């Protein structure tokens, strides 16, 4: 009996070693793409798509499968907000910045055999804003409105079979980034006309995967498009499976029923990090949470006061107490995943002595009394406004500034901060197109400081404003980057906000899932994903 036990222990140890050995060797990357395994990937997510016509929808869940089925004229480089050519091989911008001519890729066909050309591009976009368009009735095309495209695009002309021209109402460089968003996916005109409203449930695009089946609230299946215009995807099929409960998703992953899970529960993250066979990735979301100083109210018009309060805050304490693993400290008004993010900017360190010195210099040696407005809702960029406000209150009190916490119902809160009734207010922003203009112009420009204001710091800095207006009209990406980097330096020095945090988005998967990356814009892209088994 004893011998048997010993033998069994040895045997299991040996098998552990063998298994362990195999594991450590397994991540050898196959030399060429041809070696990469396809297979079926199950992606578990929290909700079903509303429809699969990305022009119609606004929610991420609708876009996930649509991103696989459709292509856009330009696209985000994997894991970034930088734009690269896709269905458009290149584009020319006129000197006045008012016309964008896209040179389209030739030989591309939709999954139904319809050729991709300038007419398809014109059709796709015109349905969103020309009311007499034959497909206008299948809308409403909400995101077109969200991005204010009707005030940007004047008209669209077919120059030739593979050349299409957008005539703009005003110079608008971020316009190109808008075209990388899901709502700008190019649809098959013949399929839209033939299927009518049903197109949204049987979508036809040019993308790396073709639509196969949708069982409502259960799963959506897409399969590899072997006729893709670039290297075909590695995966043979993707199953987008709805598992609403985060813990149930994780249990399904542990059991190997699914390969990737979206939005894991924050409570499970620690377990995921240590569990063998499972890996965890994260990405800063396209958002920022901040405390804005109302520059129209005393004493916040004084730069020294704003800087002093920046020194007074122990940001790490806020991250640890409120965000946990769901956020990282912010130093710039744009998130780190965004191009032109200026990593050379240094944040104000936690230094109460320096804060007191600056307050004294500003004429407030004994501090002052004021209010902190706390948002009443949970947002990714600020999961608990009240608690953040309480920590800020304690930090400010330590340097002599007595702040009372104020809060309103969310709608009222937004109305009142829009018109500047606050002293200091917590708020945040979630971006759409990955362009810095979508943050800096909306939140900090001079035009945005007029009620209803996006700039609730009511901070009007000519120098900063000139830089971002110049960048908005400048088509050259390198020059835009330089302008935005400089703007961020001014922002930090002038300190109209205390930048608090960016949320972190997580995804967990089996070790065998390779090359799945999260995008700052929230896209889920499977084109490069393969299974190492």
Partner 1 sequence: MGRLILRRIVQLIPTLFGVVTLAFFMLALSPGDPARVMLGERASQARLDELRTQLGLDRPLIEQYGLYLSRVVQFDFGTSIKSGRAVTEEIADLFPATVELALAAMVFASFTGIVLGVLAARKKNSLLDTASMAAALIGVSMPVFWLALVMIMIFSVGLNLFPTGGRMNIRYYFTPITGFYLLDGFIVLLREGDPKYLMSALHHLVLPAVALGTIPLAIIARVTRSSMLEVLGQDYIKTAKSSGIPDFKITFVYALRNALLPVVTVIGIQFGLLLSGAILTETIFAWPGIGKWLYHAIEARDYPAVQGGIIVISTVFVLINLLVDLLYSVINPRIRLQ
Q: Which residues bind partner 1 (CB under 8 A)?
A: 40, 42, 47-48, 50-51, 56, 58, 138, 140, 142, 145-146, 148, 197, 200-201, 212-213, 215-219, 221, 239, 241-245, 247-248, 251-252, 254-255, 257
Minimum CB separation of residue 263 from partner 1 in Å reads: 14
Per DSSP, the residues of 153-215 read: EEEEEEEETTEEEEEESS--TTHHHHTTSGGG----HHHHHHHGGGGGGS---SSSEEEEEEE
Residue 430 or residue 477: which is nearer to partner 1 going by CB? 430
Rounded Cα distance between 39 and 234, Å, is 8
Shortest distance (Å) from residue 464 CB to partner 1 = 26
**What does DSSP assign to residue 101?**
E
Nearer to partner 1, 142 or 416 (CB): 142
User: Are 47 and 61 a contacting pair, CB within 8 Å?
Assistant: yes
* Cα–Cα distance for residue pair 337/431, rounded to 1 Å: 12
| Complex with partner 1: residue 219 or 481, whichever CB lies closer | 219
Residues 6+ apart with CB under 8 A from 508: 250, 253, 260, 261, 264, 272, 278, 279, 280, 281
Residue placing its CB nearer to partner 1 in the complex, 203 or 335: 203
Range 354-359, long-range pairs (CB < 8 A, 24+ positions): 354/308, 354/311, 355/308, 355/309, 355/310, 355/311, 355/312, 355/399, 356/308, 356/399, 356/400, 358/304, 358/305, 358/307, 358/308, 358/311, 359/304, 359/305, 359/308, 359/399, 359/400, 359/401
Is 17 or 248 the residue whose CB approaches partner 1 more closely? 248
Q: Kindly report the number of other CB atoms within 10 A of residue 400's CB atom.
A: 18
Give the strand pairing for 163-168 and 209-215.
unpaired
- State whether residue 42 is helix, strand or coil: strand
Q: By C-beta, is 406 or 442 nearer to partner 1?
A: 442
CB of 197 to partner 1, least distance (A): 6
Kindly state the smallest distance separating residue 128's Cβ from partner 1, in Å. Answer: 12
- What are the angstrom distances between the C-alpha of 309 and each of 23, 43, 406, 457? 51, 45, 18, 14
Distance CA 456, CA 275 (A): 45
Q: In the complex, what is the shortest distance from the CB of residue 163 to partner 1, in angstroms, rounded to a whole number?
A: 31
Give the nearer residue to partner 1 in terms of CB position, either 3 or 255. 255
d(CA 130, CA 137): 10
Q: Report the nearest approach of partner 1 to the CB of residue 227 (Å).
A: 21
The least distance separating partner 1 from the CB of residue 77, rounded to whole angstroms, comes to: 29
What whole-number distance in Å separates Cα of residue 447 and Cα of residue 426?
A: 21
- Closer to partner 1 by CB, 35 or 257: give it: 257
Specify the residue, 142 or 387, whose C-beta has the smaller distance to partner 1.
Answer: 142
Q: How far is the CB of 495 from partner 1 (least distance, A)?
A: 31
Q: Indicate the residue among 224 and 315 with the shorter CB distance to partner 1.
A: 224
Shortest CB 151 distance to partner 1, Å:
11
CB of residue 368 vs partner 1: minimum separation in angstroms?
37
What residues have CB less than 8 Å from 361, skipping those under 6 apart?
304
């Amino acid at each position: 009996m004893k011998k048997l036990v010993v033998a069994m222990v040895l045997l299991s140890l040996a098998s552990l070693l063998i298994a362990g050995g195999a594991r450590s060797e397994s991540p050898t990357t196959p030399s060429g793409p041809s070696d990469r395994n396809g297979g079926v990937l199950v992606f578990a997510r929290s909700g079903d798509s509303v429809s699969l016509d990305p022009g119609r929808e606004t929610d991420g869940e609708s876009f996930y499968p649509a991103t696989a089925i459709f292509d856009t004229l330009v696209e985000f480089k994997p894991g970034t907000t930088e734009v690269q050519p896709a269905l458009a091989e290149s584009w020319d911008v006129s000197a006045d910045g008012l016309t964008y001519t896209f040179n389209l890729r030739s030989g591309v066909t939709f999954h139904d055999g319809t050729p991709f050309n300038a007419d398809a591009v014109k059709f796709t976009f015109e349905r969103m804003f020309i009311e007499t368009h034959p497909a206008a009735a299948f809308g409403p095309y909400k995101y077109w409105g969200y991005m204010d495209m009707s005030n940007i695009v004047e008209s669209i002309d077919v120059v030739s079979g593979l050349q299409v021209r957008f005539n703009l109402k005003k110079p608008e460089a971020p316009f190109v980034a808008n075209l990388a968003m899901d709502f700008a996916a190019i649809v098959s005109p013949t399929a839209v006309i033939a299927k009518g409203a049903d197109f949204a449930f049987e979508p036809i695009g040019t993308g790396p995967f073709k639509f196969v089946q949708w069982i409502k609230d259960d799963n959506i299946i897409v399969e590899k498009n072997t006729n893709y215009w670039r290297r075909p995807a590695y995966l043979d099929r993707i199953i987008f499976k709805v598992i609403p409960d985060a813990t149930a998703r994780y249990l399904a992953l542990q059991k190997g029923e699914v390969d990737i899970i979206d939005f894991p529960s924050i409570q499970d993250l620690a377990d995921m990090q240590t569990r063998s066979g499972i890996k965890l990735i994260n990405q800063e979301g396209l958002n920022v949470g901040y405390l804005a100083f109302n520059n129209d109210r005393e004493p916040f018009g004084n730069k020294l006061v704003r800087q002093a309060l920046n020194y007074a805050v122990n940001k790490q304490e806020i991250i640890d107490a409120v965000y946990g693993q769901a956020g990282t400290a912010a130093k710039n008004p744009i998130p780190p995943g965004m191009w032109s993010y200026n990593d050379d900017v240094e944040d104000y360190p936690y230094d109460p002595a320096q804060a007191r010195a600056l307050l004294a210099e500003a004429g407030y040696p004994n501090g002052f009394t004021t209010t902190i407005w706390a948002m009443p809702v949970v947002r990714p960029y600020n999961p608990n406004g009240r608690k953040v406000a309480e920590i800020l209150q304690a930090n400010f009190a330590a340097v002599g500034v007595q702040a009372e916490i104020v809060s309103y119902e969310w709608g009222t809160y937004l109305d009142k901060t829009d018109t500047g009734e606050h002293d200091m207010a917590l708020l945040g922003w979630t971006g759409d197109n990955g362009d810095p203009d979508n943050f800096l112009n909306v939140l900090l420009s001079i035009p945005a400081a007029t009620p209803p204001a996006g700039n609730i710091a009511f901070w009007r800095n000519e120098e900063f404003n000139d830089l971002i207006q110049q960048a908005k009209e400048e088509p050259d990406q390198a020059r835009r980057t330089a302008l935005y980097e400089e703007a961020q330096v001014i922002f930090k020095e002038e300190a109209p906000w205390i930048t608090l945090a960016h949320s972190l988005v997580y995804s967990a998967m089996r070790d065998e899932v390779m090359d799945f990356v999260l995008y700052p814009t929230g896209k889920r892209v499977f084109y490069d994903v393969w299974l190492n088994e």
